[in-house]
Amino acid sequence: LQMHQMDALRVVIQADVFRLNRAAADAHAAATLEAAIAALALARAHGTIYPAVDGPVFTSDSDLTKPSGLTVERIERFLHGTALAGLGKAYMETEARYHVSANYLVADSILESAWGTSQIARDKHNILGFGADDSHPYEDAVWFPSFAACVDTVARYVAEHYLDPRGGYYHGPTLRGMNVLWATDPEWANKVAQIGTSIP
């Protein structure tokens, strides 16, 4: 083969290898997601409880009923320049009132509302995706008079139904426990924890 033919053949082979690797990665991701969905379904069926695990870092297994250790000032610095700026006091007052971690509330607000910029957040002041099911998220999302009112209402609901052992949706006082019935995305707990960990 001529040199230019060899180069062309090498490019074709490299492209084929890339496609095979990509297909394998996609298959692995699909299998991982399928396994996570199956695990959630099993947890729902068997009433699995995910106990809290103490530690210095906010994780999907942190106890959401314990104080976050955050302050209004730290939250405000983190949210500065975003549509959620100014909510530091609301998050901390809500944590004190209902014993629901401000770390969770801040992180999930960011995840669900894209830092307060989603259409549901703008039109309905709903920054926690409350009521927004998969089939009709915008139509079914609950309207609130303000972002702070949304935080207060959702925290109270979560405290009563998800974090209290007497609650109908209780699977442990953790993000992992909430994920069983709160969100259809099996990675929701990990996504919230990842954002929560990034709060300085």
Is residue 127 within 8 A of residue 143, CB to CB? The reply is: no
Is residue 109 within 8 A of residue 88, CB to CB? The reply is: no
What's the pTM value of the predicted model, to 2 decimals?
0.78
pLDDT, one tens digit per residue, over 66-96 is 999 999 999 999 999 999 999 999 999 999 9
pLDDT tens digit at each of 200 positions of the chain: 555 555 555 655 566 655 666 766 667 666 666 766 666 666 665 678 888 998 889 999 999 999 999 999 999 999 999 999 999 999 999 999 999 999 999 999 999 999 999 999 999 999 999 999 888 999 999 999 999 999 999 999 999 999 999 999 999 999 999 999 999 899 999 999 999 999 99
Q: How far apart, in whole angstroms, are the C-alpha atoms of residue 180 and residue 152?
A: 22
Picking from 107, 105, 82, 109, the residue whose alpha carbon sits closest to that of residue 94 is 105
